Amino acid sequence: MPSSKYLIFLGCAVPYRVSAYEISARKVLTKLGVELVEMPEFNCCGLPLDPVSHETMLILAARNIALAEQEGLNIITLCPGCAGTLKKVNKILKEDKALREQINGHLKESGLEFKGTITVKHIAQVLTEDVGIDNIKKAVVKPLTMLKVAEHVGCHLLRPKEYIGFDDPEDPKILRNLIEATGATCLDYIDETECCGAPSVGVSDKIALQLARDKLSHVKLVDAQALITICAFCHIMFDTNELRIEKLFNEVYGIPILHYPQLLGLALGIAPEELAFNELRVNASKLL
Amino acid sequence: MRSYRGYLLMTENATPVVKDNMREPIRASEINPKFKYELIKQHGSEKLLKCFQCGTCTSDCPVARYSDSCRPRTILHMAKLGLKDRVLKSDTLWLCAACFTCTDRCPQDVEVASVIRVLRNLAAEEGIFPQVFRDQCESVLESGYAYKIPDLRIKKRESLGLPPLPKGNPESIKKSLKGVKFMKHMENKGDSNAKQ
């Protein structure tokens, strides 16, 4: 198994709300030979503040990249929002010298400098590119051939394409391939690439819940046994709100929402209790 | 300090200012013909003038499906016309979920979601933005994290077998953000807190 070493960038939402994602991701990555080093210091990637101040976002993201450069390690993130932001800023600042100097002027105040020497990857990308689908298949000891699931890759893992630059946002394969590597079947459903609604929470909850409901109803139509996510926000949107949506719209879904590393962990033979299945709001015990 | 309500916790509709002001008749006095040239200098909205109003953005917008007023095409057209005040004061400016579907599908390569972000930034500079962003910015300045992570959660990490959470460095963050225009709103907030 090829070995690789990354600085793990947890972001804010993962430690705040979805420890199941972190627990299962750490277990799975370690098992597959990816070494994780903790960030020496942390601040938000900047994405949540981009709507009010692009400059703040650039500075916050550049700070994290500069911290990683000091450690001499590439970054792995669990949250596609963090991955997208850090990637985008890494690309922009590497290419735009004037902007780089402007941002470095801000970082200088705290003894940091963006040099452009590292890369940023999301966990799905590390699993696909560093570990490799074939090696994942080889590591599977308990193929999940009885499971039929649906995938939700989310927006920020792949969009905007110009800055993210891998896979195809209109016909994404990355999560599908990772799911199929576990032996499970990945079902097609209507509007697979649509937004979960999470970014609208706090501005218009009504719109957010309607978007999540659309997704859940499309997943239900194909009788998926679970919905697999690879994003902290998408997971919160579905798992935390499924009961609320059921009440609000007087419907029944009962679809467990799993973090992809939980699914992979099962296939790798890790015990469900070690993969934090008990942290999920929608009961997933029927899958185990 | 006011109790913190995170972005992920459901809040009441927090959108500011004028409701659905996109359909009012246009008065000539509202038009600022220089506005579009201001916009194309900003990072993200450089290609605004290439928009030929095909409507791909609006028809593919997931939010537009459930909102009568969130219309990216309309926002871009109003910005090009120079209806600066109206766009910046519009509540619909804040409905975009930044999913970037419009950006990826625009046949003219306009970064639609980024144009909307540029407009939001301009509104925010004037102090017009939903409360949720103030909460998050405050939290970043105080702890490095966008949400205030409860002590209980931090303690629980140990029992879950997780390593300690990396610490934020508020002093260093504040130093890096010195001179950023938006921060004036956070300073004001700090002052009013001190008086309370």
Are B8 and A170 a contacting pair at CB < 8 A? Answer: no
What's the gap in Å between the CA of A224 and the closest CA on chain B? 23
CB proximity list for A10: less than 8 A, separation 6 or greater: A22, A39, A42, A77, A78, A79, B165, B166
Note whether B107 and B148 are same-domain residues. no
Give a yes or no: residue B161 inside a domain. yes
User: Given B125, B141, B157, which residue is the final one in a domain?
Assistant: B125
Chain A residues touching residue B166 (CB < 8 angstroms): 10, 38-42
Tokens of B107: 């046949």
Checking if the pLDDT of A56 tops 80, the result is yes
B189 burial type by CB count under 10 A (0-12 exposed, 13-18 middle, 19+ buried)? middle
Per-residue pLDDT, B18: 66
pLDDT at B101: 97
CA dist list (Å): B6 to A140, A248, B67: 39, 22, 23
Given a cut of 90, is residue B69 above it in pLDDT? Answer: no
From chain B, the residues in CB contact with A41 under 8 A are 144, 166-169, 172
Phi, psi of A239 (to 5 degrees): -65, -50
CA distance B44 to B103: 11
Quickly list H helices, chain A.
13-17, 19-31, 54-71, 80-95, 97-108, 123-125, 133-139, 161-164, 174-181, 205-221, 232-235, 242-249, 260-267
For residue B9, tell me if it sits in a domain: no
Asked if the structure places residue B22 within a domain, the reply is no
Residue B63 resides in a domain: yes
Residue A98 confidence class, pLDDT cut points 50, 70, 90: very high
Instruction: Report how far residue B124's alpha carbon sits from residue B143's, in angstroms, rounded to the nearest whole number.
Output: 22
- The complex's ipTM works out to 0.93
Its domain, for residue B77, covers: 28-125
Instruction: Return the ∠ at Cα A262 (arms to A261 and A268), rounded to 5°.
Output: 80
* Domain limit, last residue, from B125, B140, B163: B125
Whether B97 is covered by a domain: the verdict is yes
- Closest CA of chain B from A199, distance in Å: 5
pLDDT for A2 beyond 60: no
Using the predicted structure, report yes or no on whether residue B2 has a pLDDT greater than 50: no
Q: Are residues B40 and B112 in the same domain?
A: yes
On whether both B104 and B135 belong to a single domain, the answer is: no
Residue B41 and residue B117 in one domain: yes
The structural domain count of chain B equals: 2
Whole-number pLDDT of residue B21 = 77
Asked if residue A42 lies in contact with residue B168, where contact means CB atoms within 8 angstroms, the answer is yes
Contact between A44 and B144 using a beta-carbon 8 Å cutoff: yes
Read off the pLDDT band of A3 (50, 70, 90).
low
Q: What is the pLDDT of residue B6?
A: 31
- Give which of A1, A60, A67 is closest to A38, Cα–Cα: A67
Residue appearing with tokens 């949506």:
A245
Q: Is the pLDDT of residue B10 over 50?
A: no
Q: Are B163 and B157 in contact (CB under 8 A)?
A: yes
Chain centroid to Cα A69, Å, comes to: 22
* Domains along chain A with CATH numbers: 4-122 (1.20.1050.140), 133-287 (3.40.50.11810)
The partner residue sitting opposite B140, judged by closest CB among A13, A49, A170, is A49
Does pLDDT of B65 surpass 60? yes
Q: Which residue's entry shows tokens 């997208």?
A: A84
The highest-confidence range among A53-67, B19-33, B67-81, by mean pLDDT, is A53-67
Are residues B51 and B105 both part of a single domain? yes
Does B129 score more than 70 pLDDT? yes
Does position A68 have pLDDT exceeding 70, yes or no? yes
The residue-averaged pLDDT of B144-168 equals 93
Rounded Cα distance, A142 and A235, in Å: 25
Q: What single DSSP character describes residue A36?
A: E
Q: Does A276 touch chain B (CB under 8 A)?
A: yes
Residue of A nearest to B182 (CA): A53
- Structural domain includes residue B167: yes
The nearest alpha carbon in chain B to A234 belongs to B8
Does pTM top 0.90 for this prediction? Answer: yes
**Residue B104 pLDDT exceeds 50:** yes
The residue among A20, A103, A33, A98 whose CA lies nearest residue A61 is: A103
Mean pLDDT of A102-114: 96
Q: Do A39 and B172 touch (CB under 8 A)?
A: no
Query: Are residues B81 and B138 located together in one domain of the fold?
Result: no
Judge: B132–A204 Cβ closer than 8 Å, yes or no: no
Residue B7 has a pLDDT of 32
- pLDDT of the residue at A124: 97
Q: Is A283 an interface residue toward B (CB < 8 Å)? A: no
B4 pLDDT higher than 50: no
B99 and B168 in a single domain? The answer is no
CATH number of domain containing B51 = 1.10.1060.10
Task: Say if B10 falls within a structural domain.
Answer: no
Q: Give percent above pLDDT 90 in chain A.
A: 94
Regarding whether B118 and B32 lie in a shared domain, the answer is yes
Mean pLDDT confidence for B36-43: 97
Residue type, A102: Q
Per-residue confidence at B9, pLDDT binned at 50, 70, 90? very low
Asked if the model's pLDDT at residue B12 lies above 60, the reply is no
- A139 lies within 8 A of chain B by CB: no
> Same domain for B90 and B75?
yes
Among candidate residues B125, B155, B172, the one where a domain is terminated: B125
Residue range B130-143, pLDDT digits in tens: 888 999 999 999 99
Assess whether pLDDT exceeds 50 at residue A106. Answer: yes
Q: Are residues B110 and B161 in the same domain?
A: no
Alpha carbon distance A60, A58 (integer Å): 6
B113, B141: one domain: no
Q: What is the 3-state secondary structure (H, E, C) of A70-95?
A: HHCCEEEECCHHHHHHHHHHHHHHHH
What distances in angstroms separate CA A150 from CA A50, A186, A219, A225, one per listed residue? 31, 5, 7, 8
Integer CA distances (angstroms), B41 to B45, B46, B115, in order: 7, 6, 11
pLDDT, tens digit (0-9, with 9 covering 90-100), for A226-269:
999 999 999 999 999 999 999 999 999 999 999 999 999 999 99
**With 90 as the cut, is the pLDDT of residue B195 above it?**
no
Mean pLDDT of B158-176: 95
- Has residue B21 been placed in a domain? no
Q: Are residues B177 and B137 in the same domain?
A: yes
